[in-house]
Amino acid sequence: MRVLLTDDHQLVRAGLRALLESFGDVEVLAECGDGQEALVLADRLQPQVMLLDISLPGLNGIEVARRVRKVSPSTRVLILSMHTGAEYVTQALRAGVAGYLIKDAAVEELKVALESVRQGRTYLSPAISQTVVDGFLRITEETPEPRALDLITSRQKEILQLITEGNTTRTIAERLKVSVKTVEAHRSQLMERLDIHDVASLVRFALRHGLVAAEQA
């Protein structure tokens, strides 16, 4: 099994790499701690499985999962996260992940999750509340009003995350390789669509909707 490992903590990555390689039938192609870099590596390496944390700088794991299908259509994403809240799980499922595992899972559960994902099945950690799953299915079957995050584009979500992480407009423009005016236009549009008109409120929105974790803000 060819795996790409993405987590923003170097010690966690080192431990996971050692654990995965001890399984015998797993090859860790590469590891990284940044969402944008994960997409670049996925494009280049075409892994079977991407083991992915949600809380990543620059581009969070949910957006990585949503975008990876464009650069590596055969890659299956297995989320490995400390977050068990409904908002995180629902967003991950909407983004098309193949599995969601919590970080305090047993080693044997990781093996089961990887094998399930490799065989094309969906794996959800038993520790994730059944209520969360039921809620996701109910929302999917109904036709509710658009969720707040659905009102903004993928690029606007990325800019919102970067704003929340404390980056200036110029820094965001340099990181995304666009003009300052383009970043300002996206920011104005997302503020208008969300009916939010100051940075502090944008940060609260991003935290409330699981776009970034509190430690990243």
What's the fold here for domain 2-141?
Answer: Rossmann fold (3.40.50)
Task: Report the C-alpha gap between 93 and 98 in whole angstroms.
Answer: 8
Q: Is the pLDDT of residue 145 over 50?
A: no
Most confident region among 43-52, 90-99, 156-165, 173-182 by mean pLDDT: 43-52
The DSSP element (H or E) to which 67 belongs, if any, is helix 61-71
Percent residues over pLDDT 70 in the chain: 89
Q: Is the pLDDT of residue 144 over 50?
A: no
Q: What's the pLDDT at 131? A: 52
Domain map (residue ranges) of the chain: 2-141, 148-216
Q: Among 24-33, 70-79, 188-197, whose mean pLDDT is lowest?
A: 188-197
Name the amino acid, one letter, at 185. Answer: A
Specify the DSSP class assigned to residue 97: -
The architecture in CATH of the region 148-216 reads Orthogonal Bundle (1.10)
Residue of 118 and 210 predicted with greater confidence: 118
Confidence of residue 143 (pLDDT cuts 50, 70, 90): very low
Arithmetic mean of pLDDT, 145-159: 79
Q: Among 55-59, 111-115, 134-138, whose mean pLDDT is lowest?
A: 134-138
Instruction: Give CA separation, 19 vs 35, 39, 103, in Å.
Output: 22, 23, 13
Contact 6/68 with Cβ under 8 angstroms?
no
Task: Report the C-alpha gap between 159 and 25 in whole angstroms.
Answer: 39
Task: Report the C-alpha gap between 51 and 46 in whole angstroms.
Answer: 13
Percent residues over pLDDT 90 in the chain: 49
Q: Is the pLDDT of residue 142 over 90?
A: no
Task: List the one residue out of 86, 37, 40, 81 whose CA is nearest residue 58.
Answer: 37
Query: Which tokens go with 121?
Result: 């099945």
Q: Among 98-107, 108-117, 134-143, whose mean pLDDT is lowest?
A: 134-143
Arithmetic mean of pLDDT, 74-101: 89
Q: What's the pLDDT at 133? A: 63
Mean pLDDT for the chain overall: 86
